[in-house]
């Protein structure tokens, strides 16, 4: 099968670039003493998680319980769920999962701890629990300070729970393009986490794991050596937003684009404009419009949920109906979640389809 045979819209995955990204992150982390626990919310595919584990990852992260269920079904046995799991039915599912695999979960309040502790005791499972600390993102998490120490003590009073450490993830700084500014903010967030860990330790409680970090902060986290574990997600495939984020020395981050959306031109109604068969149902725009690979003059504009307009800033669009172009999504996670499968490319040829088993698994 060659590329013209692929129907569109299609989510293209360059398996060679994917493999190089996984190897680069392995090499960056190797010898640092930090563990790598990639976030599977990006790729949502057990097969890719297994590749990350084969390259030395200690386990994976999932955002949602349903995602974790798919991963366990795919043979992944060490998972950190990075958002609190709340409500009786979800906690029951969590306990079933914890019977099968090594599951760690994040909490950020006393009610949640007691609910997990009671359920784990009733289900006769031992559950590793981490407290999330809000180190600047203002999403979940207790404020830095004594609250985490109080909650760690509370976890210790549940015999079915084990306090495993703290999570401090600051998503707001991952996309800060300038390296020095990002590095300063990563340091400030880490300080909040380390101070909090110190307060927990002062109570005589061991803090084994300090987990956090993403694609934007990984190199900085590795230099600072404050975390014990990194959770980057997007690095496996990258996107147009992360392509703007600078490494030290203003270089690009050391990861390649492995993802694209293949589109077909369906109309060229005016000299400066054509229309493709990719709209908001086939590429996410939460982080901005996609770019057009190889055509820096073409701007993607809204033309409905099933179509996109490509307008040329140079004045004339050379494309004609039937031509194919590749779009570069601005946000990999939300675009991947729109597709049932990756169309996998190797050496410029189609290798086959990899099902995205956890797409849409948001419960
Ligand atoms: C808790 C947590 N950890 C890690 C990540 C991975 O971040 P990135 O995709 O920027 O590498 C995310 C992404 O949103 C996250 O929410």
For residue range 151-185, list pLDDT tens digits in order: 999 999 999 999 999 999 999 999 999 999 999 99
Spacing, Cα 213 to ligand 1 middle (Å): 7
Question: How many angstroms separate the CA atoms of 32 and 224, rounded?
Answer: 10
Q: Residues 314-352: pLDDT tens digits?
A: 989 999 999 999 999 999 999 999 999 999 999 989 999
Query: For ligand 1, what atom is nearest to the CA of residue 215?
Result: 11
- Find the residues whose C-beta lies inside 6 A of ligand 1: 39, 42, 61, 82, 169, 171, 174, 214-216, 231-234
Which ligand 1 atom is at minimum distance from the Cα of 169?
1
Average of per-residue pLDDT across 262-274:
97
Probe ligand 1: pick from 137, 169, 244, max atoms within 8 Å of CB? Answer: 169
Pairwise CA distance, residues 142 & 117, whole Å = 19
Cα separation, 53 vs 31, whole angstroms: 16
8 Å CB contact between 291 and 327 = yes
Sign of CA dihedral 272, 276, 281, 284: negative
- What is the average pLDDT across 286-304? 97
Q: How far apart are CA 12 and CA 5, in angstroms?
A: 13
Q: Which pTM value belongs to this model?
A: 0.97
The mean pLDDT value of the chain amounts to 97
pLDDT band at residue 1 using 50, 70 and 90 as cut-offs: very low
CA angle, 215 as apex, 254 and 74 as ends, to 5°? 105
pLDDT at 3: 72
Centre of ligand 1 from the C-alpha of residue 233, in Å? 6
The position carrying tokens 């068969």 is 277
Q: For strands 324-328 and 259-270, give the pairing.
A: antiparallel
- Quick check: 186 and 173 in contact, CB under 8 A? yes
Q: Which atom of ligand 1 is nearest to the CA of 83?
A: 1
Report the nearest atom of ligand 1 relative to the CA of 175.
10
Give the H or E element holding residue 299.
strand 298-302
The 10 Å Cβ neighbour count of residue 69 is 22
- The partner residues of 192 in beta bridges, in order of sequence, read none
The secondary structure of residue 161, as a DSSP letter, is E
Q: Which one, of 328, 331, 345, lies nearest residue 293 by Cα?
A: 328
Query: Could you give the CA distance from residue 256 to residue 293 in angstroms, rounded to a whole number?
Result: 14
């Amino acid at each position: 099968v060659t590329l013209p045979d692929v129907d569109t819209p299609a989510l293209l995955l360059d398996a060679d670039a994917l493999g190089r990204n996984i190897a680069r992150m392995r090499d960056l982390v190797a010898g640092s003493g930090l563990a790598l626990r990639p976030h599977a919310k990006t790729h949502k595919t057990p097969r890719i998680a297994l590749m990350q584990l084969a390259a030395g990852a200690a386990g994976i992260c999932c955002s949602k319980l349903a995602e974790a269920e798919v991963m366990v079904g795919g043979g992944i046995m060490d998972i950190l769920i990075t958002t609190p799991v709340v409500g009786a039915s979800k906690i029951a599912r969590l306990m079933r999962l914890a019977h099968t695999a090594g599951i760690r979960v994040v909490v950020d309040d006393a009610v949640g701890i007691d609910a997990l502790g009671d359920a784990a005791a009733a289900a006769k499972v031992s559950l590793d629990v981490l407290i999330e600390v809000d180190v600047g993102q203002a999403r979940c998490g207790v404020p830095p300070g004594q609250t985490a120490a109080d909650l760690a003590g509370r976890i210790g009073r549940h015999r079915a729970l084990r306090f495993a450490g703290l999570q401090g993830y600051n998503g707001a700084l991952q996309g800060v393009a300038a390296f020095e500014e990002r590095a300063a903010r990563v340091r400030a967030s880490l300080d909040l986490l380390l101070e909090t860990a110190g307060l927990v330790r002062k109570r005589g409680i061991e803090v084994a794991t300090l987990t956090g970090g993403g694609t934007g902060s990984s190199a900085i986290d590795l230099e600072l050596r404050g975390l014990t574990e990194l959770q980057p997600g997007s690095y496996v495939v990258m996107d147009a937003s992360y392509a703007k984020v600078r490494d030290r020395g203003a270089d690009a981050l050391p990861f390649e684009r492995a993802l694209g959306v293949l589109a077909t031109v369906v109309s060229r109604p005016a000299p400066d404009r054509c229309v493709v068969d990719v709209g908001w149902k086939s590429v996410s725009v939460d982080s901005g419009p996609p770019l057009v690979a190889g055509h820096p003059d073409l701007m993607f504009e809204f033309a409905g949920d099933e179509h996109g307009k490509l307008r040329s800033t140079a004045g004339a669009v050379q494309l004609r109906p039937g031509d194919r172009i590749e779009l570069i999504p601005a946000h990999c996670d939300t675009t991947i979640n729109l597709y049932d499968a990756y169309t996998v490319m190797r050496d410029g040829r189609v290798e086959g389809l990899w099902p995205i088993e956890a797409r849409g698994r948001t419960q």
